[in-house]
Amino acid sequence: MKYLTSLFLLLFLCTCGPATNSTVQSGGEVPPADRPKVVFVTGDEEYRSEESMPMLARMLENNMDVQTVVGYSLDSAGVIDPNNVYSISQLDELADADLMVVFARYRQLPAEMARKITDYAESGRPLVGFRTATHTFKYVEEKDSALMVLNDDWPTRVFGQQWIVHHGHFEDGHGKLTDVTVREGKEDNPILRGFEPFEAYSWLYHVDGGDWKLSGDSDPILMGHSLRSKQEADGKLDEYPLDQPVAWTKTYTGTSGIPARVFFTTLGHPYDFREESMRKLALNGIYWALGREDDIPEDGADATTIGTYTPNNSGFGEVYKQGVRPE
């Protein structure tokens, strides 16, 4: 009954009328019809998605002939403010997007903004998610009770899992905490072309094992091994094993009845994207989601950064780059 109630609330959210217009407009010329449009939905106050996602967007634009739009959490003056959990720009662009990429955390968007995201997810078009998309939303106030289905049920069904727990922070950005390797039998997956195992700064998320399992047809392609674990120190490895999927593919069939391709990774520390393998993983995953795996070269997508990528470390508060406006 709880699941049916949650499902009803989600269907209501996705079908309760046309969404209102975004207050942030996009510019530029209309791209050729055969040039896919990828919309990045960013907004997290911890992992510098406002730096890593535009970096990926630049590579897609310059190296892979993809049109991109990046939405951000902004303050009232139009300056990027990841701590503003109540607004994300450019969501109107999802209406005709070919792919939605989500790297957001604990947003409390108004219903009309949230509906633009959920309407896209229900449409049968592909999705890509990074790390905290397992907890894109966090509604806690009684007035938002109809939206609370988005906290856990929505990411579980769409992306494969909700937020559960991780293996510990341990001085963020000062050491590598997860050994990332290819899952046995997945070496030929096109998303892994050009990928080489590496050690990630991302501390390992628990997504499978104990009382939890990945949802639907989630199919892990990369595994992570925690190199340092609070769960191990606390004697909880029966509940939270040291080895976890860190990237998987799945499908999500929403109200449209059309199965959508989904690629998800729990990696996403800003320093992870300094690794070529991480950038190839992200770009290959985007191309796979778009149904263009045949266009992925044998050595993987061109992951050459455009300009410089010198992200701030992860962390809360005012540690993000101040006074930056969207590109």
Residue 21 confidence (pLDDT): 31
pLDDT recorded at residue 64: 87
Taking alpha carbons only, the member of 243, 290, 240, 239 closest to residue 262 is 290
Q: What is the phi/psi pair of residue 288, to 5°?
A: -65, -45
pLDDT in 10s for each residue of the chain, 327 residues:
444 444 444 444 444 433 333 323 333 444 455 789 999 999 999 999 999 999 999 999 998 889 999 999 999 999 999 999 999 999 999 999 999 999 999 999 999 999 999 999 999 999 999 999 999 999 999 999 999 999 999 999 999 999 999 998 888 888 999 999 999 999 999 999 999 999 999 999 999 999 999 999 999 999 999 999 999 999 999 999 999 999 999 999 999 999 999 999 999 999 999 999 999 999 999 999 999 999 999 999 999 999 999 999 999 999 999 999 997
313 part of a folded domain: no
Question: Which pLDDT belongs to residue 38?
Answer: 98
CATH number of residue 51's parent domain: 3.40.50
Distance of CA 57 to the CA centre of its chain: 14
Question: How far is C-alpha 42 from the geometric centre of its chain's CA atoms?
Answer: 8
The residue segments making up the domain with residue 68 are 2-19+35-164+246-295
Among positive and negative, which fits the CA dihedral 313, 303, 131, 128? positive
Alpha carbons 169 and 278: distance in angstroms, whole number:
20
With 0-12 CB in 10 A as exposed, 13-18 as middle and 19+ as buried, what is 219?
middle
| pLDDT on residue 173 | 82
Q: How many domains does the chain have?
A: 1
* Residue from 283, 265, 128, 249 nearest 204 by CA: 265
**Cβ proximity of 139 and 6 under 8 Å:** no
Asked if residue 75 belongs to a domain, the reply is yes
H-run or E-run covering 326: none
Residues in the chain: 327
Q: Contact at 8 Å (CB) between 201 and 315?
A: no
* Position 264 in a domain: yes
